[in-house]
A and B are shown apart, each in its own frame.
Chain A
Amino acid sequence: MADTEILGTDSAVENPAVGIDQSVGDFTYDVKYEFDAGSGLNEGTVRYISSVKKEAPWILDFRLKAYQTFLDKPMPTHWATKDLESIDFSKIRYYLSQGQKPKRTWDEVPDDIKKTFERLGIPEQERKFLAGVEAQFDSEAAYSNVKDIVAKQGVIFLTSSEALREHPELFRKWFGKVIPTSDNKFSALNSAVFSGGSFIYVPKGVKVAMPLQAYFRINAENFGQFERTLIIADEGAEVTYMEGCTAPKFSTSTLHSAVVELVALKGAKIQYITVQNWANNVFNLVTKRGLAMEDAEIKWIDCNIGSRLTMKYPGVILKGRRARGEVISIALANDGQHQDTGAKMIHAADETTSSIVAKSISVGQGRSTYRGQVHIPKHLKGCKNNTECDALLINSNSRTDTYPAITVRGDRHAVQHEASVSKVSEEMIFYMQQRGLTEAQAMSLAVNGFVNDLVSQFPMEYSVELKRLIDLEMEGSVG
């Protein structure tokens, strides 16, 4: 029957295929760290990170300048939540690793780290459907490998630290160009202490058939993870990148602050898929932006289910003519969670088009916020943007906010924004109940129906897991 599949009561439960159920990630093994920058942040911390990584002097300079910018920038609490003030930068550990070089086979990965990723099912997924995997454990990648068939096409898939050493000219050309250090306080922090993350270069005309994946694992308490990812798709290239993440539930808070830059050159296509399922103690403050040149296309598929506070607004700068940007965003906020997500579309060339579809579900005392920016400056023509955001409120104390900002100059564009807030109608629940579903099953079905058109755009493995996860989150939310 179709309904058992949707309600996910069968095999999916035992199979943590993509590992996005939070309980799946809620474990921790004792790991001995060889490199530890200690708690708190000062210039010494920045120098320590740079020295263990044996970085070129220009990178240290870059980091130190960024550290100063971080100090100079105020917390953005004049528009963002005051919860940001709960972050104590002096208690966070900024760098923890067992070594700086990722292993190329799982056999070489130290046992205590390997068993974490095996439990999360990463090696199994790699065999099944991925072109390459990077597995980051706290500050550094423990494992990074790309399948031969992809490597032979000239695709580079390394950790950021490796790429800085091996391909400095390629890296430096785009590094910090899409997201300047001073973009915001947290992009500055990342620029000062970044470690890990992926570097991908796809050569001209190469279409990577299977997705590349990165998996980010936080293991240590009071830890801050600051990965830095740069993806470059050369002319006519195509690539799909997926990232997943988990952390154990500690009683103290954890900080995750990534910077992700995408560059799609003429006619290239990049699809970036995130399924964020951090434990409910993680502050997830991430800056993600892509640069789309002529006829290029960048699509962010962003799903936020975990974390205490997420602030993330993936953006696309539409730099070349006919470039296309798209953001698909799903957020689910449960008790104690605030999903502050959205999108940013900066039109900078004629005939560029962008589309934003955001759906959020607030359960219990959860709060979901949509923040969007659409900018069409003067002297452009034929730009189009369409934004839709829909919010579903499950309980009477759930909360949702919508804060879009749209600037349009000139009369040759078409921009529309629509948003709605609703609850699951009693008639709908009643209809399903009289056909034999329990109230909880009916609610799950209705919520899955609400996000179904977006979930179906995820790769199959993810969409099955997402549906199951939504069911889990909805458990006990009615009555």
Chain B
Amino acid sequence: MSVSLTSAPSPVSAPATGLTAERFAAHLAQQAPLPAWWLDAKQVAWERFRALPLPTRTDEHWRFSSLKGISFDGYDLSETPASAAPHLPAFPHTAQIIYSNRQVIGRSTVPAELTAQGVLFCPLDEALREHGELVRTHLQKHPAALGGDKFVALNTAFAASGVVLYVPKGVEVDLPFVVQHAITGERQAAFPHTLVILEDNARATLVEFFVSGDQRTHLAAGVNDLHAGAGARLTYVGAQSWSDTTLAFQSNSIVAQRDARVLALNVHLGGRQARHESHSRLLGPGAHSEMLALTVAGGTQEFDQRTLQTHAAPNTSSNLLYKNVLLDTARTIFSGLIVVDPDAQKTDAYQSNRNLMLSDTAEANSLPGLEIQANDVRCTHGATTSRIEPEQEFYLESRGIPPKKAAELLVIGFFEEVLNKLEDENLHAVLRDLIEAKFKAK
């Protein structure tokens, strides 16, 4: 059932379904205890979401994307968390926050010695209440410029779940902070917003899992703001395994100041149609951004990945490696752009998209782009699309490994190049298991 926005409110107070004006008003009322600037931002975002058109054919940011599957109609926001939350992989960590249908259902405390040093790892609403100014100065300060404005506006309008990780100057944390966002129930939606602030010379890892608690239809529109101060080292891992009927969107913004190093790895396994936008801005000399992604596309799934590497300061470097494995009639789109500003001399930028085709009906689209306005640079990009080398398959089969297993081993091998860039062995193993599980299910 859907409620028209123009009709008068029904006298019977049945809960409105869909992301309607009534639903937004109700959400805003729930958020009332939070700072006024936050409520204003939500109001602006809601109006922006309503005003912005859906992406069209002529929008270059949406070239090759399937547009007819994009609709926000009929999704709902459950006020109660699902009784059974999906399993969260166990591995050594510093602290965890677990969300189910936008409610915190589990939380482990940050070790006292880190809290004493000023480390903050808490749900978004808590951060808004207790550290409002910190959130305000960093939230969406550098939004990704990749065409997903309508989704980002929707996220801001309804954002309630999400975490803030703040690590003060010089503090180094070895084990990762872990977050899980789960959606359960027919046509349920989530709008996670993650904010990571590493001050100068700080070091930390944040791992986020996005999962569906069942195989029903979900909507996910997430946004990340990742800030790495001068000399900071930030590792971010996002792994999504939404249900195969989920419409998923995620916007990643990475800002690296002088000599900062950021590594962001995104693993894409689920969703009917999943779009991921990632924008790295290298703002200080010596900054480095490592942008990595692994995708297993099966069935009729579509994975749409858009990236931007903006080199705005001299002597910065970036390295992008996006690997896709395609099965069945799946589609992938990789559209990447390296932008080198006129002053960003001595930039060293690399961008590579590798597509491994395991099916004769899958489709891989690559749009690797460059926009270079400085001459003393080293910028290269490459894109390849091919099948498994028959020699490699033959080698494994000649040693008695059955064809299916051989293909699986070769795919895992294809992904290892990326997974090996993670320093955390346990995390590496968790992600490999996750990918293998999807691949075995196929």
Q: Name A's B-contacting residues (CB within 8 A).
A: 78-79, 378, 381, 391, 393-423
Contact = CB atoms under 8 A, between A and B. Distances in A.
A401 B371 contact: yes
Interface of B: 58-60, 63-64, 342, 345, 355, 357-387
A408 B364 CA distance: 5
A394 B372 CA distance: 12
A79 B368 CA distance: 15
Given A406-B383, A423-B376, A411 B358 contact: yes
Given A391-B372, A400-B370, A421-B370, A407 B358 contact: no
B342 A421 contact: no
B361 A78 contact: no
Contacts of B379: 420-421
B369 A403 contact: yes
A419 B59 contact: no
B342 A396 contact: yes
B380 A420 contact: yes
Contacts of A402: 368-370, 381
B21 to A, nearest CB: 32
Contact of B365 (A78, A405, A418): A405
A405 B386 CA distance: 16
B363 A407 contact: yes
Nearest to B58: A78
A475 to B, nearest CB: 18
B382 A422 contact: no
Nearest to B334: A406
A479 B74 CA distance: 64
A195 B379 CA distance: 44
Given A378-B360, A409-B361, A417 B375 contact: no
Nearest 8 CB-CB pairings of A with B: A393-B375, A411-B357, A402-B370, A411-B387, A421-B379, A406-B366, A408-B385, A420-B380
B372 to A, nearest CB: 5
A392 to B, nearest CB: 9
B380 A418 contact: yes
A412 B372 CA distance: 34
B366 A422 contact: no
B316 to A, nearest CB: 15
B60 A421 contact: no
A397 B342 contact: yes
A409 B361 CA distance: 6
Nearest to A402: B370
Contacts of B63: 405
Contacts of A403: 367, 369
Given A415-B385, A416-B383, A78 B60 contact: yes
B295 to A, nearest CB: 15
Nearest to A370: B370
Given A396-B345, A399-B373, A408-B385, A419 B368 contact: yes
B406 to A, nearest CB: 15
B355 A408 contact: yes
Contact of A419 (B357, B363, B380): B380
